[in-house]
Structure 1
Amino acid sequence: IELRLEKMGSREMYLAVLDGERSPDLMSPASSLQVSLLQDLSTQRFGQPLVNQFDEEQCQSVVESPIVIVAWEERANALWGTDPGADLWDALFEALTNPEGWAAYGRPEWGFVKFSHTDPLRSNSGFQTLVLMTYNYHGKMAGLTSEDILADEAFQQWLIAFEGSITEFGDSTGTYMEEIIAFGPSLHDMVAVYEATAIEQAENARGRYGNLVVYYPPATHVSDHPFCILDADWVTPEQAQAARLFMDMMLSPEAQELALLSYGFRPVDPTIDVSQPGSPLVRYQENGFRLTIPPEVETPSGSVLQTLLDFWSRNIAR
């Protein structure tokens, strides 16, 4: 088969398909959040979806990487001890909105607590972080609704205060990871990134500004890197068949093991042992990486996700 690849950001990708600027046979955003959005938005616009995230013949995840919080160990220990557990988001909110900053934790010389995540309107990791924060506030693992966002004034005030403590929302997850290593806690005390991004930079972080460690939120949402064949009139049966062959190759044991050992992604193939020799999840366990991940929240419907993005855009974006 012949492949013609184009690199695009996840949000840029689904909007380009929705607006008719691109007509791909196969698309692969960073997570199912974008597929959910495209499915609902295309149904609203065209009367039928351009993609079906629930049809395994059309849409399959190929690798996974959960959201983690990367932090300088000394700062994290001062904030929540060795493990924040279920209180991670609450502890972070209290620290970020405390006008005393690190002085409230006995370290006034550190200034204000500095947490960052990317812009959810431009970057998938920031979008996932926003979803996790919203679920956590409402004490839910599934069933997030637009009413949870629009009809709960206390939640709105909480989110605006939380996000108001962040000085800048970047565009790139990789850039944030590079910055925390290059500039240390002078720029970021902790950042929300993909687990695979943290693994990619784990060696570079050694011996910089103390130990860099990862913490897993009490519930997570994974970047599941779905490969989805478009249900559109421009996709011929032959092109759909070729796309399935490519998906099969990405799901082969050889490709799945390569994704783990060379790039730090978790395989979706359950027969691939993430604790095998050479696994970065084992190699960097002392930095907090885990073989198993926390329970996953449900991916909300596209309409709920759009409501959350709209609220963020109207009240927080800058």
Structure 2
Amino acid sequence: MLALSGCFGGGSEGGGSDGGDFADDGCTHIVVATSSEKVNMLDALAKGFKDSPEMKALDTCATVRPINVSSGDATRFLSASDEVWPSENREMWPTLWSPASTVWTERVAAAGSPALVGEPESFTRTPVVFGMPAAMAKALGYPQSPISITDLEQLCSDPNGWGSVGKDVWGSFKISKTNPNTSTTGLSAILMQSYEASGKTADLTADDVAAAADFSRVFEECVIHYGDTTGKVLTTLYDETQNGAGGSGYVSAVAVEETSLLNYNQGNPDSHTVQPGETLTPPKEKLVAIYPEGGSMWSDNPITVLGAEWVTPVQAEAGAAFAAFLQTSAAQQILPQFGFRPLDDSVALGELFTEEYGVDPAGTAVTLPRPGVDVVSAAIDQWTQIRKPSS
């Protein structure tokens, strides 16, 4: 059996739904393996599913529970075997998988298991942005002037750092990112660097990635820490902001999904399940979302019924019903409450998507398409060569 590697748990590595067995409710039990930032939202969607026409059409009721498994870890597990899942509790083996991006389902399919990942379909989306302490963003002209990844790269390469824009007190320009082997945000960030260096907004190739090596190497030199998840990165930033030297003293920019930035600014840096009666304390200095001038990649959050041997026909049918429910108007209206953008353009974004919480409701002006599997592999391989080994 594969090693578990600590991918299940509380806090930033999980949510309130992944501990213990299901209650004996007489229903078909469905587990959704999902990236951490979606656990809270899928909890709410699972409750909404209970009263939906999609569930009522089933012969047997279904109970859905999300558990957190990072997108990269799930890809590694599924690429290795369709016969076992790295948990001794078979009841918690997933029927559904919802990574942050279709990049991961494509990697499993390319590894020789296309039937295992079925037919993934996106149900929500969130762009990858650079979260910057508000004072630093304003020093670069935010929000009046667009900021590009090249602007950040030049601050990285300038020996004067922030002094080059008259802010010597902030020292060097420092970036925090996640590991692209396990994190969608980290993977999207290195692809966005290659897009920027190539000058392209589509049709990125492996040759483009290779040509971007020097540009990306400079960018990586500014990285102070590679976290496994954005939850860990943002929790460290939050602690520094509340109790340390302040966010501006710790880091200049963090590559994150917009939804994670929204959670951070509400005082939930690890996107944990907020318990009844729990009070969140917003950070002393909020982050603002920088949507790079050259474009952003989007985490398209697919969901798919796994074609694994452990998934029964009844579970597969119930899983498909839940996936269908996620496309309905009732489900789409739940998404903005958790900082995710609905696919249904008729659904209002609501009060979170405002300047108060550091985001622009219009989002990114340029969408960078997901490149092919070979390009993604080339970018990850390149990162292993140019990353800062001490981070």
Q: Same fold (TM over 0.5)?
A: yes
**1:55 aligned residue:** none
Do the aligned partners of residues 233 and 301 (structure 1) sit closer, same or farther apart at CA in structure 2, a change above 3 Å counting? farther
Give the one of 198, 212, 216 matched to 2:287. Answer: 212
**1:266 aligned residue:** 341
For structure 2, list consecutive stretches of 5 or more residues without a partner in the other structure. Answer: 1-27, 33-66, 86-92, 241-246, 268-280
**1:51 aligned residue:** 117
Secondary structure of the equivalent of 1:228? strand
Structure 2 CA distance for aligned equivalents of residues 207 and 158 of structure 1: 33
Please state if 1:30 is matched with 2:100: yes
Do the aligned partners of residues 80 and 120 (structure 1) sit closer, same or farther apart at CA in structure 2, a change above 3 Å counting? farther
| Cα offset, 1:74, TM superposition | 2.0
Q: Is the 8 A contact 2:259 2:339 kept in 1?
A: yes
Please state if 1:120 is matched with 2:180: yes
Give the one of 177, 187, 211 matched to 2:234. Answer: 177
What TM-score, normalized to structure 1?
0.84
Structure 1 CA distance for aligned equivalents of residues 78 and 283 of structure 2: 45
**2:297 aligned residue:** 221
Please state if 1:110 is matched with 2:182: no
Structure 2 CA distance for aligned equivalents of residues 15 and 206 of structure 1: 35
Q: Is the 8 A contact 1:37 1:303 kept in 2?
A: no
Please state if 1:202 is matched with 2:265: yes
* Percent identity for Structure 1 against Structure 2: 25
Taking the TM superposition and a 5 Å limit, the aligned residue runs for 1:65-84 are 65-84=126-145
Residue identity matched to 1:82: P
Structure 2 CA distance for aligned equivalents of residues 206 and 24 of structure 1: 34
Structure 2 CA distance for aligned equivalents of residues 25 and 146 of structure 1: 34
Structure 1 CA distance for aligned equivalents of residues 175 and 367 of structure 2: 23
Kindly provide the CA deviation profile for residues 76-125 of structure 1, in whole angstroms up to 9, marking residues without a partner as x: 2223453452x511110000111111222212222111122112122211
| Cα offset, 1:145, TM superposition | 1.5
For structure 1, list consecutive stretches of 5 or more residues without a partner in the other structure. Answer: 53-57
Q: Is the 8 A contact 1:78 1:105 kept in 2?
A: yes
Q: How many residues align?
A: 299
Q: Is the 8 A contact 1:41 1:302 kept in 2?
A: no
- Structure 1 window deviating more from structure 2 (286-295 vs 28-37): it is 286-295
| Cα offset, 1:247, TM superposition | 0.7
Structure 2 CA distance for aligned equivalents of residues 119 and 293 of structure 1: 23
Please state if 1:147 is matched with 2:197: no
Please state if 1:308 is matched with 2:379: yes
Structure 1 CA distance for aligned equivalents of residues 282 and 134 of structure 2: 12
Structure 2 CA distance for aligned equivalents of residues 91 and 134 of structure 1: 14
Structure 2 CA distance for aligned equivalents of residues 7 and 91 of structure 1: 35
What TM-score, normalized to structure 2?
0.70
Structure 1 CA distance for aligned equivalents of residues 311 and 144 of structure 2: 49
Structure 1 CA distance for aligned equivalents of residues 197 and 221 of structure 2: 16
Query: RCO greater where, 1 or 2, for CA within 8 Å and sep 6 or more?
Result: 1
Secondary structure of the equivalent of 1:192? strand
Q: Is the 8 A contact 1:40 1:49 kept in 2?
A: no
**1:158 aligned residue:** 215
Do the aligned partners of residues 32 and 103 (structure 1) sit closer, same or farther apart at CA in structure 2, a change above 3 Å counting? same
Structure 1 CA distance for aligned equivalents of residues 69 and 288 of structure 2: 30
Give the one of 142, 148, 163 matched to 1:88. Answer: 148
Secondary structure of the equivalent of 1:30? coil
Secondary structure of the equivalent of 2:125? strand
Secondary structure of the equivalent of 1:193? strand
Structure 2 CA distance for aligned equivalents of residues 81 and 7 of structure 1: 35
Secondary structure of the equivalent of 1:220? coil
Structure 1 CA distance for aligned equivalents of residues 194 and 183 of structure 2: 17
| Cα offset, 1:63, TM superposition | 1.6
Secondary structure of the equivalent of 2:197? helix
| Cα offset, 1:206, TM superposition | 5.4
| Cα offset, 1:178, TM superposition | 3.1
Residue identity matched to 1:222: W
- Structure 1 window deviating more from structure 2 (224-233 vs 164-173): it is 224-233
Structure 2 CA distance for aligned equivalents of residues 236 and 295 of structure 1: 42
Q: Write 1 or 2 for the structure with the bigger share of helix.
A: 1
- Structure 1 window deviating more from structure 2 (132-141 vs 14-23): it is 14-23
Do the aligned partners of residues 207 and 27 (structure 1) sit closer, same or farther apart at CA in structure 2, a change above 3 Å counting? closer
Structure 1 CA distance for aligned equivalents of residues 357 and 316 of structure 2: 44
Structure 2 CA distance for aligned equivalents of residues 83 and 180 of structure 1: 26
Q: Is the 8 A contact 1:37 1:301 kept in 2?
A: no
**1:190 aligned residue:** 253
Structure 2 CA distance for aligned equivalents of residues 17 and 81 of structure 1: 42
Structure 2 CA distance for aligned equivalents of residues 62 and 145 of structure 1: 27
| Cα offset, 1:207, TM superposition | 6.9
Do the aligned partners of residues 258 and 81 (structure 1) sit closer, same or farther apart at CA in structure 2, a change above 3 Å counting? closer
Q: Is the 8 A contact 1:42 1:50 kept in 2?
A: no
